[in-house]
Amino acid sequence: MADSLNKYSSRITQRASQGASQAMLYGTGMSEEDMNKAQVGIASVWYEGNTCNMHLNDLAAYVKEGVVAAGLVGLRFNTIG
């Protein structure tokens, strides 16, 4: 039997002991349906003060749209590039 796609995210989204974590996710706008989906982290290495990579946040938005279209939950996060 294949592992489910939300093998790791279900540790937070499915366990009754993770109520505080689930409350934070609901606060971000996730729905009850989203709690059953796998979560995908999308790194965005952008900075408005650097013309070389300031467009990357826009690209991350397109990636998130694709992740959502695939039936998953995309969560963008920033990192320094």
pLDDT (tens digit per residue) in 8-62: 999 999 999 999 999 999 999 999 999 999 999 999 988 888 888 889 999 999 9
Using a cut of 0.85, tell me whether the model's pTM lies above it. Answer: no
pLDDT of residue 2: 53
Sign of CA dihedral 43, 75, 5, 72: negative
pLDDT score of 37: 96
Q: What's the length of the chain?
A: 81
